[in-house]
Amino acid sequence: MNKKVIALILSLFVAIFISACGLKEESSNSDKNSEALQKAKVSELTQKEMPKEPRTITNEITLSAIGDMLIHSRVYKDAQTNEGYDFSPMLTDVKPFLEQSTITMANQETMIGGTDLGLSTYPMFNSPHEVGDALLDVGVDVVTLANNHTLDRGEEAVQSAIGHWETIDMMYTGSYKNEEDSEKIRVYQTEENIDVAFLSFTYGTNGIPVPEGKDYLVNLIDKEKISSDVKMAKDKADVIILSLHFGTEYQRMPSDEQKELVQFAADQGVHAVIGHHPHVLQPVEWVEGKNGNETLVAYSLGNFLSGQDDFYRRIGGVVSFTIEKTTRGGEQTINLKKPQFLPTFVMSDKEQSYKVMPMYQLTNNQLSNADEHYREIKQHMSQWMPDLEFIESN
């Protein structure tokens, strides 16, 4: 075989080999491309099928509550001016602690029926309208009115008081001007999208009968009524604060009746119970409801401003806590946390110069053994809540 034929045969073999290799590489690349395309389609399909992680939104507000505003004649006489009455100077030292909260509530124990009805003191109170003005000035947003002195001066005083609360645009609860008014659950709406409902009830009215057909004048403690109002509040608000005027006067520990009613409230899903009436401080604690929920309880906040001069009746306080609302998808949870307490003391000099002061600021010149008394009050309030924080700066 000549050289030309051999060269031709070799050339054909080389061409066939190269062609085969090319087809194999092309086939391999095609397979790889097909596999990648298949993976991409599976990944895209998987992503479409997989649910997206729900967005979590958390908002917070703070709420503070003070004890009894019990305005004896020596207090309103001390507040008298040439133009009327001015209680604001009595609250100047505690104002920074009240106005910093998102919502601040107070128990206005004496009806502010005003001077036209004639002012009066214990046992049948009627106070100046200006008490309400002072509360507004220091940052109070809500007042509770159901207590044993609500009907002291009858319906006229109640209506006059409510008229003034409405004039200054102060939310009130527990006593109402008519049936329609009483059916409206009080809900305070905040910019943080946390709505808070306020309910208020009292054990009684010092034997004064509620006028027939006018139950709206004062909410009396009744479990069926409380349960019904709590259910309505749940439909309208995120958080429920229940104010209870109950217990035994001047007793520094809650009674069995108080504890039983608080347990009932916790079982209904109330978030916090704020207690009044004993005129002295009673401890703070967490109470577990039947569904495992935790309810914050201040059994009694004592007197915030009053003319009572017994030592422990001059001590009140501000309870504060944070309300956290977490929304995840369609679910919402409410968590109360960071409870704090500010003990306060009513200073006076021979029934004059009344002033509410933070207890931690008192000196021995103002109150003998001030530090010792302050430590005792801190221990008393935190005995069931060892991690209770005490406010000692503003």
Instruction: Say whether 374 sits in a helix, a strand or coil.
Output: helix
pLDDT at 296: 98
Is the CB of residue 337 less than 8 Å from the CB of residue 320? Answer: no
pLDDT at 389: 98
pLDDT at 18: 45
pLDDT at 53: 72
Instruction: Say whether 280 sits in a helix, a strand or coil.
Output: coil
Average pLDDT of the chain? 91
Q: Burial of 283 by CB count in 10 Å (0-12 exposed, 13-18 middle, 19+ buried)?
A: buried
Structure token pair of residue 147: 């207590």
Whole-model pTM?
A: 0.87
Q: Where are the domains of the chain?
A: 1-50, 63-390
207 C-beta neighbours (distance < 10 Å), count:
7
pLDDT tens per residue across span 100-118: 999 999 999 999 999 999 9
pLDDT at 13: 52
Is the CB of residue 171 less than 8 Å from the CB of residue 200? Answer: no
Single-letter amino acid, residue 190: T
Q: Which CATH architecture has domain 63-390?
A: 4-Layer Sandwich (3.60)
pLDDT at 394: 77
Residue ranges, the chain, pLDDT below 70: 1-52
CA dihedral angle for residue 277, residue 278, residue 283, residue 287, rounded to 10 degrees: -50
